[in-house]
Structure formats: structure tokens, C-alpha cells
Chains A and B, each alone.
Chain A
């Protein structure tokens, strides 16, 4: 499910099945790391699209949350809001190194700009599989 009108309309009734919220969390600092951040944001988008397709019926993907200076205040509040709403799991999909108070899945940094589409496709798919495994193991724990 996604954060859009139609999916949210029925979300409350489906919490029994859609029990896991996923928050993509990215940095948008315009500093010396900006090029890296740009790449990371692209990867997060690609992984998210694919994840939605695989696990549509059990995860709710929020709009990507953007931060600067690695501030996690808003993320903390949002996480709480999602738990209060009724989600059993709230998972953060990110390149940042977050504290243990967050259930985060850390993505690899892949220099997408240097790659041919073929290799890109394979690497992104590998990353998606990794994330799927992590989510399934969260479901199992």
C-alpha cells in the first residue's frame, strides 16, 4: 500500500493484514556529500518501487522522509505516530546509520551513475532481495 487517497481510505480496516509500515529516509544535505546523497536517493526510490510490488498486501510505504544534518527528530515522531495508528512493525529504509531505537534496514551505497543499465538492474535487484529477506525475518521474529 502507498500513501495515497485510495490506499489510505481502507487502511484502518486492513491493519490485520497490512501490519508493517516502511519509511524511506534520505539525506538531502547540499554539502560535500551531495553527489552521494543524490545517488542514495535514487537507489531508495528504485528499491521502494520494487518492494511495493512484491509486498503490496502487507506493507504500507510512506512518502520518503528527507532530513538534513542527520536529524532524526521528525522521524522519531513519525515512527511513534505509525505505531499509534496500529502498525505492528515500523521499518526504516535508509543509508544513514540510525540508533537502535529504530528498526532500520541499511542499504548499500551503489554508484549507480557509473553503470550500464544491465548492471544497474542486477545490483538494484540484489538490493531488493536483501531488503525482502530482512523484512521477512522481521515478520518471523
Chain B
């Protein structure tokens, strides 16, 4: 199995945003998102408003961060995740960046040889723009989607569901 990332891929990869960020609230509360007055999430299942307007979204997948509170048995922590979001005609598509192989974070166009695909650096997984996994690469299924919506012109993100475009 080849796990080589070429030098160019490597440089390219290194330019990507390290978007998602998770920290237990007790360690480091993330001011930027928490202070956003547009940010409202009440209960599980509600849509989370992002700071990206629907107008900004183009056909080129972009990284959109969103923050929510996660509660487990012992403490609550603030979690920032992100989605890959783009426009397809009138529709807005949002993918979870979690690779369906073993869960690394995928990046759009990070591999020079595959400029129109999502790339996973861990074992060179590839996905088409519609999330479909490229045969011959490790992932066994397409990228999951997020529910999307709009609130006062801003993109909202909801639950994850299995890819319906493939």
C-alpha cells in the first residue's frame, strides 16, 4: 500500500486550514465563536447558525466552522467542527469532513493530481465533489452530508445524514 504524499501534495496540504477545534471548556473557552451574537444553539437537533452568508458560497467548496456545546456524563465542552460547503445550482451542499475509512479529516483539492476532489492525507483516500468515494482508494462509502438552511441570510448547519447525492 502506498502512503506516500508527494512533496507538492505535502506543501499544498500544509496550506489548508486547521479548522475544527475542540477544547474542553475548562481548558480553553474559544472566545471568537462563543461571543458571536448570531450563534445560537439550544438543544440537540436545532440548526446552528454560522458566520457565513449564503451569498458567499460559490461552486468551490469552502470550509465553514460551526460551534456547539457537547455534554457528556461529566462535563460540557464547546466543540468547533466544520463542513465543506458549496453551491450546486440553487442548492447548497454541505459535507462532513470525516473520512469514511478511519476518520481522518479530508481536504478539498489538497492533492495536486486530483484538484477537483476531496483528499484524505492518512491513506490517500479520494472523493469526488459529490462526496462519492473513488474506487481503488481506501474509503468504502461516500462522505456524509449535513442538513443546511438559512437564517437572516446566514448559513445554518444541522444534523448529519448519509449522502443522498450518490
Contacts and interface: CB of A to CB of B under 8 A. Distances in A.
Interface stretch (A12-20, A77-85, A96-104): A12-20
Interface in A86-123: 112, 116-118, 120-121
Nearest to A45: B27
Interface stretch (A21-29, A30-38, A67-75, A124-132): A124-132
A57 B102 contact: yes
Interface residues of A, number: 31
A137 B22 contact: no
A117 B28 contact: yes
A29 to B, nearest CB: 21
A59 to B, nearest CB: 8
A137 B10 contact: yes
Contacts of A121: 21, 30-32
A9 interface: no
Nearest to B20: A53
B28 A46 contact: yes
Nearest to B139: A57
Interface in B8-54: 10, 13-14, 18, 20-23, 27-32
A57 B123 contact: yes
Given A14-B102, A58-B104, A133 B18 contact: no
Interface in B82-106: 99, 101-105
Contacts of B102: 14, 17-18, 56-58
A50 B27 contact: no
B27 A42 contact: yes
A117 B32 CA distance: 7
Of B14, B104, B120, chain A has the most CB atoms within 10 Å of the CB of B104
A125 B17 CA distance: 9
B61 interface: no
Given A17-B122, A136-B121, A139-B5, A46 B27 contact: yes
Contacts of B31: 116-118, 121
Nearest 3 CB-CB pairs, A to B? A57-B102, A117-B31, A58-B122
Interface of A: 14, 16-18, 42, 45-46, 49-50, 53-58, 112, 116-118, 120-121, 124-125, 128-129, 132-133, 136-137, 139-140
